[in-house]
Chain A
Amino acid sequence: MVFSLYLSFQDWDGVGDMRFVGLQQYKWLLEDSVFWHSILNTFQIWFLSTVPMLFLALVIAFLLHSQTRFSTVYRVAYFIPNVTSMVAMTIVFGSVFAQAGLANSMLRAIGVEDGVGWLSSSLGIKSAISLMIIWRWVGYNALIFLAGLQAIPTELFEAARVDGANSRQTLFRVVVPQLRPVILFAVITSTINGLQIFTESQVLFYSDDPGTTGGPGQEGMTIVLYLWQKSFNDLQFGYGAAMGWLLFALIALFAIINWRLVSGSERADGRGIALRKGARNGR
Chain B
Amino acid sequence: MAVERRRGAAVTADRAPSSVGLAVGAGSRATRIWVRVALLLGVLVSLFPFYWLVVMASVTTQDILSYPPRLVPGAQLLHNMGEVIERVDFFASLFNTLVVAVTGTVLVLFFDSLAAFAFAKYEFPAKKFLFGALMATYMIPAQLSLVPQFVTMAEFGWAGSLKALIIPGAANAFGIFWMRQYAQNSLPDELLDAGRIDGAGFFRLYWQVAMPLFRPALAFLGIFTFIGIWNDYIWPLVVMVNPDRLTLQVALANLNVVYNTDYAVVMAGALMSVVPLIVVFLIGARHFLRDLAAGATKM
Contact = CB atoms under 8 A, between A and B. Distances in A.
Interface of A: 1, 3-4, 7, 14, 60, 62-68, 71-72, 74-81, 83-89, 91-96, 100, 102, 105, 108-109, 135, 139-140, 143-144, 146-152, 154, 157-158, 160-161, 165, 167, 170-171, 175, 181-182, 185, 192, 195-196, 198-199, 202-203, 206, 224, 227-228, 231-232, 237, 240-241, 244-245, 247-248, 251-252, 255
Given A85-B230, A135-B45, A147-B293, A196 B143 contact: yes
Contacts of B12: 68, 71, 150
Given A85-B230, A88-B53, A227-B146, 11 more contacts: A1-B140, A3-B151, A7-B148, A60-B39, A75-B285, A85-B248, A157-B19, A167-B22, A198-B234, A240-B147, A244-B147
B19 A65 contact: yes
B286 A72 contact: yes
A62 B274 contact: no
B238 to A, nearest CB: 6
Contact of A65 (B23, B148, B256): B23
A151 B296 CA distance: 11
A237 B145 CA distance: 11
B256 A76 contact: no
A264 B144 CA distance: 30
23 contacts: A7-B147, A63-B39, A66-B27, A66-B32, A68-B12, A72-B286, A75-B285, A80-B46, A85-B252, A86-B231, A88-B53, A93-B49, A147-B294, A148-B297, A149-B19, A199-B233, A224-B143, A228-B146, A228-B234, A231-B150, A244-B144, A248-B141, A255-B139
Given A1-B145, A88-B273, A95-B56, A83 B227 contact: yes
B252 A251 contact: no
A84 B277 contact: yes
Interface of B: 9, 11-13, 15-16, 18-25, 27, 32, 35-36, 38-39, 42-43, 45-47, 49-50, 52-53, 56, 64-65, 67-69, 139-148, 150-152, 154, 227, 230-231, 233-234, 237-238, 248-249, 252-253, 256-257, 263, 266-267, 269-271, 273-274, 277-278, 281-282, 285-286, 289, 292-294, 296-297, 299
